[in-house]
Structure 1
């Protein structure tokens, strides 16, 4: 299945680089480019992308407002924030607007393409450092609530426990595969099994469980 991608960034050179990268992948199709948030909203309605790569700082309507507007009109669209700034001032407003993930522009080409695919598949891709902050915030919020003790999942295999630890460290599927010297498909299978066994509905919740020592 071809993944339809809309590129949104106010710098033409950045958009050109992203287009060239996407065109190296046989399963991605760039259906449009936008330099402003307003253009992004208009093009999203016209081109019906599966994934929108959204810059956050743009003149006029910024990426956060554009994300909220696009998702209000097309809730099935996956908006993946891609920005130079990985501070909380940009992270949490983007997530609150509905972005499914948050990547910084120094991500490797492999991680960026993997992030687009994961977003299209319903996952929530984050750059490693960003994921760590999200997990830390979730853990802090959890410890401020009165909840039962953390559940135990004794059914995990040694390899699944190893994969869970690497997910908690914020590694991408490609990085985990490289660390463990296995294929990416094998890593995806382990993560699917982990979600089934732990009841986690996405990668962030899985990482939170790992941080709590499951």
Structure 2
């Protein structure tokens, strides 16, 4: 952290494209509020920098070599929970947004946004607010509406014994997603998905995916007409 910039918010750039990092540095160099104090290309380098210099804001790409930015956000926030992470990605996908938030990020913008969007995001998170790129706001609103409409009134105590992650995996299984697809969606390994599936079936006392679907339909978690069939 530079001592001659005591009033500027410190920013770490984590992106494996040097040219893109350079563009961000030039943009923020002209701003009196923020100062780029470091740049890295990997999660490992970012973790070392955070431990040594404690930047206040981290601009984190999702698609990094080795560990992805979502996993990197989890790792960094374990050591520096006060840091504000803004995901900055090529992908305007709601799944990436949700997983980023679960990892602890407080903002999400896409790389083809204007400089004004980046500055709006920085300003928002420094005030303790969340920020989402306008291009994904409509999709976020639709997901929230779907959740409100579809959230069941769970009355079976066995469902309450499932962990939040197990409930999430269960909802995806009964929608017909394969273990590989669920793993990609949740940024976990297929083996971890299989372990969750096994525990779900044990806790609910069920034997087959068909039984699980029937159980989910009974609770109102899924409409049987929307089920696409069991997946391996």
TM-score tier by shorter-chain length is: 0.5 to 0.7
Once residues 115 and 16 of structure 1 are traced to their aligned partners in structure 2, the CA distance between those partners, rounded to angstroms, is 19
Match of 2:119 among 113, 117, 123: 113
Q: Compute the TM-score of the two structures, normalised by the length of structure 2.
A: 0.60
Q: Give yes or no for the alignment of 1:100 onto 2:106.
A: yes
Q: Secondary structure at the match of 2:28?
A: helix
Number of residue pairs the alignment of both structures matches: 147
Once residues 141 and 50 of structure 2 are traced to their aligned partners in structure 1, the CA distance between those partners, rounded to angstroms, is 31
Given that 2:94 and 2:140 are in contact with CA atoms closer than 8 Å, whether structure 1 keeps it comes out as no
Match of 1:144 among 150, 164, 169: 150
Match of residue 24 from structure 1: 30
Q: Give deviations 1:75-133, integer Å, cap 9, x for gaps.
A: 11110000111123422221211111110011111111121121121111111121222
Q: Give yes or no for the alignment of 1:132 onto 2:138.
A: yes
Match of residue 45 from structure 1: 51
Match of 1:61 among 57, 63, 67: 67
Given that 1:102 and 1:130 are in contact with CA atoms closer than 8 Å, whether structure 2 keeps it comes out as no
Q: RMSD value over aligned CA atoms? A: 1.6
Question: For structure 2, which runs of at least 5 residues remain unmatched after alignment?
Answer: 1-6, 154-232
Q: Secondary structure at the match of 1:45?
A: helix
Higher RCO, Cα 8 Å, sep 6+: 1
Once residues 47 and 130 of structure 1 are traced to their aligned partners in structure 2, the CA distance between those partners, rounded to angstroms, is 32
**Larger Rg: 1 or 2?**
2
What is the Cα deviation at residue 8 of structure 1? 0.6
